[in-house]
Chains A and B, each alone.
Chain A
Amino acid sequence: MSAQIAPHHLESAGADAVGLVAVGERLPDFELLDHAGNRRRLSDLVGGDPTVVQFYRGWWCPKEQAFFRRLLALQEDAEVAYSRILSISVDPPQVNAAFRAGLGARWTFLSDPDRELQTQLRLRETTDTLNDPYVPAVVVIDPDLRICAVYNGYWYWGRPTHDELVRDLREISRALRADWEAPTP
């Protein structure tokens, strides 16, 4: 399965790269524990749908709490639009499960408590030596795990708006769905 995203779209993404996460590259098909403690592979979670992958600092960060409200609004669209959301932090599954439940999120949260993926992707936020969290980043990927958009959320205004995420998901869906042009008589 391959989705070809128009080059003008790639140029309009929020950033070219955060750490080693760069537009045009593929995310590694990593395995992490989900919020229920099950080992999950990225490609299985993505399935055949465009997916928003959010790397976030942790439940304690006010900026993340604000941004999650944006993702919760996107959830209402995504649940009927064959699109998926994943959130990844260094918090353990139990913490992610409690945070997810409190938010009312209905997507999968993943845990990287050993920071292996964080190291692999060079996404450690070096300015926080207390929590060693992820640099806040949002990437939008196609079913081949190809990165179509990257947003650097270290400064809050670098994060994608609802409309920017919709635009990214629309472009991937347009390339992905053979029946994008509605069948007519």
Chain B
Amino acid sequence: MSRCWLALIEGRAEGARAFARASTLDGHEVGTLAAWLHKAKPVRSALRVDERLIDPEGGPAWISLVLAPPSVRLPFDDLAVQQARRHVLTRPPLAAVSTLLRDDSHFEGAITVARPDVSIQWLRDDPFARIYPAMLLSVGAGILGSVAAPTGPTIERYGSDNPWPSAIFG
């Protein structure tokens, strides 16, 4: 079974299904945001993401990319992680959101996508950024689509190896 992987990398995105350049909001390039559909992890830093976010036809976007510091991992069941998911459901929905993970039990980051026509303040106030450090980035067209907001109030993952809010068992 293929899984969807996401990573911010330097250099070429070999074999990626979609990719685009990423830069800070003041214009400094930080690398390439790339996504792969692979059974195995394509690059060392890759994390699993809700596949619905990846759209090679997607337009430019702002993202809040939250990543766990090296050697830091929190269980998905950690109260802070639970509460962040509740806060996401409480806020007005943005273009897309997905948690990022490597295995079935640890929260290792999140990506929140907004289109440039909304206030960047919504990304600065990313609930997942209260758990791990966040990068606010501008990403070019060609990788990130829009996904309808989760219906709520479910904060769990049906099929525990899936990134929330994916609701598909497996």
Which A residues contact B (CB, under 8 angstroms)? 34-36, 38, 40, 44-49, 51, 75, 78-86, 97, 101, 104-108
Residue with the highest number of chain B CB atoms closer than 10 Å, among A46, A80, A83:
A80
Query: B153 touching A106 by the CB < 8 A rule?
Result: yes
Query: B153 touching A85 by the CB < 8 A rule?
Result: yes
Choose one: B93, B153, B167, B169; the contact of A79 (CB below 8 Å): B153
Ordered by A's residue number, 14 sampled pairs between the chains whose C-beta atoms are within 8 Å are A35-B92, A48-B158, A48-B168, A48-B169, A51-B151, A78-B153, A79-B152, A82-B158, A82-B167, A84-B151, A84-B153, A85-B153, A105-B152, A107-B89
Report the separation of the CA atoms of residues A86 and B149 in the bound assembly, to the nearest whole angstrom.
13
User: What B residues does A105 contact at CB under 8 A?
Assistant: 152-153
Looking across the interface, which residue of chain B has its beta carbon closest to that of A34? B149
User: What B residues does A101 contact at CB under 8 A?
Assistant: 90
Report the separation of the CA atoms of residues A38 and B94 in the bound assembly, to the nearest whole angstrom.
11
**How many inter-chain contacts with C-beta < 8 Å in the A-B complex?**
66
Query: A47 touching B167 by the CB < 8 A rule?
Result: yes
Query: A84 touching B154 by the CB < 8 A rule?
Result: yes
Report the separation of the CA atoms of residues A4 and B148 in the bound assembly, to the nearest whole angstrom.
29
Report the separation of the CA atoms of residues A75 and B151 in the bound assembly, to the nearest whole angstrom.
12
Query: A107 touching B153 by the CB < 8 A rule?
Result: yes
User: What B residues does A38 contact at CB under 8 A?
Assistant: 93, 148-149
Cβ of B73 within 8 Å of any chain A Cβ, yes or no, is: no
B interface size (C-beta, 8 A): 17
Which B residues contact A (CB, under 8 angstroms)? 86, 89-90, 92-93, 148-149, 151-156, 158, 167-169
Report the separation of the CA atoms of residues A139 and B150 in the bound assembly, to the nearest whole angstrom.
20
User: What B residues does A84 contact at CB under 8 A?
Assistant: 151-154
Query: A36 touching B167 by the CB < 8 A rule?
Result: no
Report B78 CB to chain A, min CB distance, Å: 14
Query: B154 touching A108 by the CB < 8 A rule?
Result: no
User: What B residues does A81 contact at CB under 8 A?
Assistant: 154, 156
Looking across the interface, which residue of chain B has its beta carbon closest to that of A40? B148
Query: B149 touching A47 by the CB < 8 A rule?
Result: no
Choose one: A35, A49, A107, A108; the contact of B167 (CB below 8 Å): A49
Report the separation of the CA atoms of residues A83 and B149 in the bound assembly, to the nearest whole angstrom.
15
Report the separation of the CA atoms of residues A45 and B93 in the bound assembly, to the nearest whole angstrom.
14
User: What B residues does A40 contact at CB under 8 A?
Assistant: 148
Looking across the interface, which residue of chain A has its beta carbon closest to that of B165? A47
Query: A82 touching B156 by the CB < 8 A rule?
Result: yes
Looking across the interface, which residue of chain A has its beta carbon closest to that of B155? A79
Looking across the interface, which residue of chain B has its beta carbon closest to that of A37? B92
Residue with the highest number of chain B CB atoms closer than 10 Å, among A49, A97, A108:
A108
Query: A47 touching B151 by the CB < 8 A rule?
Result: yes
Query: A44 touching B153 by the CB < 8 A rule?
Result: no
On whether A48 and B167 interact (CB within 8 A), knowing A75-B153, A79-B153, A101-B90, the answer reads yes
Choose one: A47, A78, A106; the contact of B90 (CB below 8 Å): A106
Report B148 CB to chain A, min CB distance, Å: 6
Report A98 CB to chain B, min CB distance, Å: 11
Looking across the interface, which residue of chain A has its beta carbon closest to that of B94? A36
